[in-house]
Amino acid sequence: MKRIISIMLCALLLLTVMPFAFAEGGENVLTIAMGTKPCLDLHWNAGSTGASLMNMLYEGLYKITENSIELAGATSRDVSEDGMTLTYHLREDALWSDGKPVTAADYVYSMKRLVDPEVSSVYMLDYGQYLLNGSAISNGEKPLDELGVTAIDDYTLEIKLEKPCSYFETMLTYTSFFPLREDCVTFEGEADVRESNWRWAWNAEKHITNGHFILTYCDEEQEIILEKNPYYYGKDEVALDKLDVKLADDANTVLQLFETGAVDLIDSFPSEETERLKAAGYYHSVPSLYTRFLLVNNNAEGLSDPRVRKALSLVIDREFLADGILGGSFIAADSYVGAGFPGATEAADYHTDGGPLFSTTCTDEDIAQAQALMAEAGYPNGEGFPLLTCSYASSPNYDLLFQYLSEIWQENLGITVKLDPMEGAAMTELRDAGKFLITPQGWGPDWLDASNMLSIFVTGNFINAGRYSSEAFDKAYADAMYNYNTEERLNLLHEAEKQLVVEDMGIIPLYHRHAIALYRDSDLSNVKFDADRKVMWADIIVNK
Amino acid sequence: MLKYALKRLATSLLTIFLVVTLTFFLMQMVPGGPFLGENVNPKITERLLQQYGYDQPVIIQYWRYIKAMFHGDLGTSLVVKSGYSVMDVIWGAFPTSGKLGFIALGVALILGIPLGVFAAMKHGTVFDRVFIFLSSLFVSIPSFIMTILLMLVFASWLKWLPVAYLENWKSYILPISGMAVYPMFHLGRLTRTTMLDVVSQDYIVTARAKGLATPSIMFKHALRNAIIPVVTSLGPTIAGIMTGSFVVEKVFAIDGMGKYFVNSISSRDYPLIMGTTIFYGILLILCNYVVDLLYGVIDPRIKM
């Protein structure tokens, strides 16, 4: 009897294990979770979740690898003597997911859509301006046909620039410049769809892509499924067969999906859980290229004096802020441009070349110096300094940040600080209108070059809502744009950066973020971040 | 009765019109606007506002909106569900929310009212006290805490039920519990209180004197009178369940109306704000209307 029971128990055990045994030999399927409605339209997306999916669905002229960028959709490129004309020879084995070849015309259509004033896509003005006649077309001064992007033949693409731009190639890694099939964007009988929204992109039957993956199922509210593109020329190097993306808006729900094993990997979670997740061994991170800083209204009374802005910056203990107050998933900034951008040589990155530009801690001498600067500016012990209102979109991290800042500014500089937390959209409106004294802002690069970090502080740029304006900065930046010698160019960018945060302290850099992936080491292997600090989904191997 | 029904209908329509008007102007008064984004060039925002006619004076926009509304056109979502007509968004999402709300209301009624009756029957016993304790507890826990608690206990710790999404019958349990707990105990308490009032009245004493069994007295005689205030509170209860579903839907990642209602406001998707508000407005006013008419049916003493 005992024997029979033990045999039966063994059989039962086997039965429970069986399904897993079968799953082993099957497909390499990864399940992840992110916020709902990721935008999948190359020209309408402005968010990072949409970008990470589109980088899998599409392939542009260049791709981002673990360490840098390399040609992808093209096999070679020629540059004219003046640097103003780039000719790309496209690869002839690249196919769309319906088997048709990827041609120069698909790139031309995409770039025309980028600058088309009828579409008014998000980056029309900011990225379209680099293409010849781009701005004029966007402003309705020239017809769309005059855009300086032409298909010489099916596999030769010519891009003419509006002005020399030494980092233009890096910019081509951004999704706005990827090829797009015109027949997928237009819906029969629904002319309006094409104009100003991205609804077409959520239609899995219509969506045609040329990258590692194809969109096989899309319910933009609940779940998106990507599968390996059978027409992708490099499909044998794509480790992942299928990516199942569960969509949920509540950060806590996303975390619970991960903790109960319903998803294998997530890249965001409520920040107060950081310590626990680190202790559990789920937390994997690399420093990201993103910088959080304070926009300071450079035209406001008091704040227009660089000495005041320097004093405000000097008394911030950034290490204490990043590690002590915000709980360990941030890195104290010692410059504006963080680590990870290509340097002049392979040996060191841009940040290492430039060295620290200010201290990450705050000593008694720093405080004394800050007080001296305030006195010099005419506000000894903060006397006579106007009320300093800090406006921000309320969030747990910002609430902590500004409580800390208000404390140290009041205590060390003797000024009066008022906190004005508000709702997100209201803050965006105030910021865009320049109606604030101090407000937080962040920037992560769209392309892998320090120039993208600095470009936003050129006089008149809309992100530069504090209206920082420096002739020296603008000149150094423009010179860098026109200089094709890497070392000289980066030196000019270093010069511009020093002007921004050492000479003028036009903004106050605070900290950098981490790019995070939460997963169990037992479940996944080969999880890597690319040079842009995005998880390289296609390479992941699932061992479940 | 008919006269009353017509009069109530007229005031209901007026209320809806006021809701439309107030929402339209209030929403435009709130700072911020559609197409504003962290990294979106304000010039682009301006162009898009122009394309959609939001650069016009508010009163003209209002007039256009009202005109289109009477033609059954609620416009197209600008941001949250860009490109979809507001009607499509509502009809696509409401069935899910409606189903959850309807089941939750059913659970609350079927469990809440008998619980209240039993508590009144067993007045002063351990059952009654436990019921009072539990109802005070659950009525005072806000629904967003309740849903997160439910998820933590039953999905994360015990792993009996799924964390999110409506995939099978099991996945309905947590969202419905999250929505039903509050109205259930609320209705139960109300029933208990009104029952206690009623059972002390003379006609109940008479019924007892006739030797009728307690359950028969309670359910046949007492409840008919005791239920009137409960019916009155049904209107607001339905409103509570519907608005409570916003949190539940977000927490359990359910593709219902709540998400659109909340997200349309935070992203200033004007047509969608109007659409969802009008929809909920009509729904709630309709509920109150039906409840009001029901009075007369339940209690013939009430003159309409």
SS3 letters across B162-205:
CCCCCCCHHHHHHHHHHHHHHHHHHHHHHHHHHHHHHHCCHHHH
Q: What pLDDT, in 10s, does the model give residues A385-429?
A: 999 999 999 988 899 999 999 999 999 999 999 999 999 889 998
Does the distance separating the beta carbons of A426 and B30 come in below 8 Å?
yes
In contact, A508 and A457? CB cutoff 8 Å: no
In contact, A203 and A218? CB cutoff 8 Å: yes
Q: What is the SS3 assignment for A376-392? A: HCCCHHHCCCCCEEEEE
The tokens describing B66, both together, are: 């009202």
Sheet (strand A149-153) strand order: A74-79, A85-90, A156-160, A149-153
Residue B32's pLDDT band, with cuts at 50, 70 and 90, is: confident
Q: Please work out, in degrees rounded to the nearest 5, the angle formed at the alpha carbon of residue A415 by the alpha carbons of A411 and A419.
A: 90
Could you identify the residue written with the tokens 């840098």? A68
Average pLDDT over residues A36-45: 90
Residue A18 has pLDDT above 70, yes or no: no
Which stretches of chain B sit within 8 Å of chain A by CB? 30-33, 36-45, 47-48, 51, 76, 80-84, 148, 151-152, 155-156, 159, 162-165, 250-253, 255, 259, 266-268
Does the distance separating the beta carbons of A426 and B41 come in below 8 Å?
no
A252 touches chain B (CB under 8 A): yes
Q: What pLDDT, in 10s, does the model give residues B82-101?
A: 878 899 999 999 999 999 99
Could you identify the residue written with the tokens 């709130």? B30
Q: Which of B43, B83, B268 sits opposite A425 (nearest CB)?
A: B268
In contact, B288 and B240? CB cutoff 8 Å: no
Residue B131's pLDDT band, with cuts at 50, 70 and 90, is: very high
Q: What pLDDT, in 10s, does the model give residues A62-84?
A: 999 998 899 999 999 999 998 89
Give the torsion through C-alpha atoms of A352, A357, A361, A366, to 10 deg.
Answer: 160
B71: CB partners within 8 A, 6+ apart: none
Q: Measured between CA atoms, how close is B37 to chain A, in angstroms? A: 7
Least confident window among A191-205, A278-292, A397-411: A191-205
- Domains delineated in chain A: 7-263+519-542 (3.40.190.10), 288-515 (3.10.105.10)
Q: Which of A120, A121, A425 sits opposite B51 (nearest CB)?
A: A120
Residue A194 has pLDDT above 80, yes or no: no
Choose the mutation target among A175, A250, A441 for the interface with B, i.e. most B CBs under 10 Å.
Answer: A250
Q: Report the amino acid identity of residue A157.
A: L
Choose the mutation target among B82, B144, B166 for the interface with A, i.e. most A CBs under 10 Å.
Answer: B82
Q: What pLDDT, in 10s, does the model give residues B165-209?
A: 988 899 999 999 999 999 999 999 999 999 998 888 888 888 888
**Residue A315: closest CA among A355, A248, A372, A244:** A372
Taking the C-alpha atoms of residue A247 and residue A255, their distance in angstroms, rounded to an integer, is: 12
Task: Supply the pLDDT for residue A5.
Answer: 53
Residue A1 has pLDDT above 60, yes or no: no
Q: Measured between CA atoms, how close is B44 to chain A, in angstroms? A: 6
Q: What pLDDT, in 10s, does the model give residues A202-243?
A: 989 989 999 999 999 999 999 999 999 999 999 999 999 999
> Considering chain A, what percentage of its residues have pLDDT values greater than 70?
93
Within 8 A of B257 by CB-CB distance, chain A residues are none
B181: CB partners within 8 A, 6+ apart: B138, B146
Taking the C-alpha atoms of residue A56 and residue A63, their distance in angstroms, rounded to an integer, is: 10
Q: Measured between CA atoms, how close is B128 to chain A, in angstroms? A: 36
Does the distance separating the beta carbons of B81 and A259 come in below 8 Å?
no
A420 touches chain B (CB under 8 A): no
DSSP state for residue A95 in the 8-state scheme: B
Does the distance separating the beta carbons of B82 and A252 come in below 8 Å?
no
Residue A354 has pLDDT above 90, yes or no: yes
In contact, B82 and A197? CB cutoff 8 Å: yes
Which chain B residue has the Cα nearest residue A47?
A: B39
Which chain B residue has the Cα nearest residue A192?
A: B83
Taking the C-alpha atoms of residue B128 and residue B109, their distance in angstroms, rounded to an integer, is: 18
Within 8 A of B32 by CB-CB distance, chain A residues are 423-429
The tokens describing B193, both together, are: 């209180």
Task: Supply the pLDDT for residue A329.
Answer: 82
Average pLDDT over residues A135-153: 95
Q: Which of B31, B252, B259 sits opposite A426 (nearest CB)?
A: B31
Average pLDDT over residues A13-40: 69
In contact, A210 and A233? CB cutoff 8 Å: no
Does the distance separating the beta carbons of A199 and B83 come in below 8 Å?
yes
Within 8 A of A187 by CB-CB distance, chain B residues are none
Q: Which of B41, B81, B251 sits opposite A253 (nearest CB)?
A: B251
Global pTM reads: 0.86
Q: Is residue A180 exposed (0-12), middle (13-18) or buried (19+ Cβ within 10 Å)?
A: buried
Average pLDDT over residues A155-172: 93
Taking the C-alpha atoms of residue A96 and residue B117, their distance in angstroms, rounded to an integer, is: 68
H-only helix segments in A188-291: 191-196, 251-259, 274-279
Which chain B residue has the Cα nearest residue A441?
A: B38
Q: Measured between CA atoms, how close is B196 to chain A, in angstroms? A: 43
Least confident window among A6-20, A73-87, A251-265: A6-20
What is the rounded average pLDDT for all residues in chain B? 88
Q: Measured between CA atoms, how close is A7 to chain B, in angstroms? A: 29
Q: Which of B33, B37, B43 sits opposite A46 (nearest CB)?
A: B37
Residue A193's pLDDT band, with cuts at 50, 70 and 90, is: very low
In contact, A75 and A84? CB cutoff 8 Å: no
Instruction: Name the more confident of B295 and A384.
Output: A384
In contact, A515 and A285? CB cutoff 8 Å: yes
Q: Measured between CA atoms, how close is A233 to chain B, in angstroms? A: 34
**Residue A113: closest CA among A171, A45, A168:** A45
Q: Which of B32, B51, B76 sits opposite A425 (nearest CB)?
A: B32
Q: Measured between CA atoms, how close is A52 to chain B, in angstroms? A: 17
A126 touches chain B (CB under 8 A): yes
A143 touches chain B (CB under 8 A): no
Torsion sign across C-alpha atoms A456, A461, A463, A469 = positive
Within 8 A of A48 by CB-CB distance, chain B residues are none
Does the distance separating the beta carbons of A260 and B155 come in below 8 Å?
yes
A to B CB pairs, distance under 8 Å: 117
Least confident window among A368-372, A388-392, B43-47, B122-126: B43-47
- Whole-Å CA distances, A333 to A102, A107, B39: 43, 38, 22
Within 8 A of B47 by CB-CB distance, chain A residues are 117, 120
**Residue B188: closest CA among B120, B140, B244, B142:** B120
Within 8 A of A423 by CB-CB distance, chain B residues are 32, 266
Task: Supply the pLDDT for residue A189.
Answer: 52
A65 touches chain B (CB under 8 A): no
Residue A57's pLDDT band, with cuts at 50, 70 and 90, is: very high
Taking the C-alpha atoms of residue A121 and residue A49, their distance in angstroms, rounded to an integer, is: 18
Q: What pLDDT, in 10s, does the model give residues A478-497?
A: 999 888 899 999 999 999 99
Does the distance separating the beta carbons of B31 and A425 come in below 8 Å?
yes
- Domains delineated in chain B: 99-267 (1.10.3720.10)
Residue A23's pLDDT band, with cuts at 50, 70 and 90, is: very low
Q: Which residues pair with A77 in a beta bridge?
A: A88
Q: Measured between CA atoms, how close is A366 to chain B, in angstroms? A: 33
Torsion sign across C-alpha atoms B267, B271, B272, B276 = positive
Task: Supply the pLDDT for residue A443.
Answer: 93
Which chain A residue has the Cα nearest residue B253?
A: A248
A272 touches chain B (CB under 8 A): no
**Residue A392: closest CA among A377, A376, A404:** A404
Does the distance separating the beta carbons of B32 and A193 come in below 8 Å?
no
Which chain B residue has the Cα nearest residue A191?
A: B83
Residue A20's pLDDT band, with cuts at 50, 70 and 90, is: very low
Q: Measured between CA atoms, how close is A37 to chain B, in angstroms? A: 8
Choose the mutation target among B40, B41, B254 for the interface with A, i.e. most A CBs under 10 Å.
Answer: B41
DSSP strand pairing (A85-90 vs A156-160): antiparallel
Q: Which range is most confident: A342-351, A409-418, B277-286?
A: A409-418
- Whole-Å CA distances, A404 to A294, A367, A482: 14, 16, 42
Residue A190's pLDDT band, with cuts at 50, 70 and 90, is: low
Taking the C-alpha atoms of residue A425 and residue A92, their distance in angstroms, rounded to an integer, is: 46
Q: Which of B36, B43, B48 sits opposite A429 (nearest CB)?
A: B36
What is the rounded average pLDDT for all residues in chain A? 90
Within 8 A of B84 by CB-CB distance, chain A residues are 199
Length, in residues, of chain B: 304
In contact, A509 and A293? CB cutoff 8 Å: yes
Which chain B residue has the Cα nearest residue A446?
A: B39
Task: Supply the pLDDT for residue A373.
Answer: 96
Q: Measured between CA atoms, how close is B173 to chain A, in angstroms? A: 16
Does the distance separating the beta carbons of B82 and A197 come in below 8 Å?
yes
A136 touches chain B (CB under 8 A): no
Residue A92 has pLDDT above 90, yes or no: yes
Phi, psi for A229 (deg, rounded to 5): -80, 110
The tokens describing B259, both together, are: 């998400």
A35 touches chain B (CB under 8 A): no
In contact, B83 and A119? CB cutoff 8 Å: no
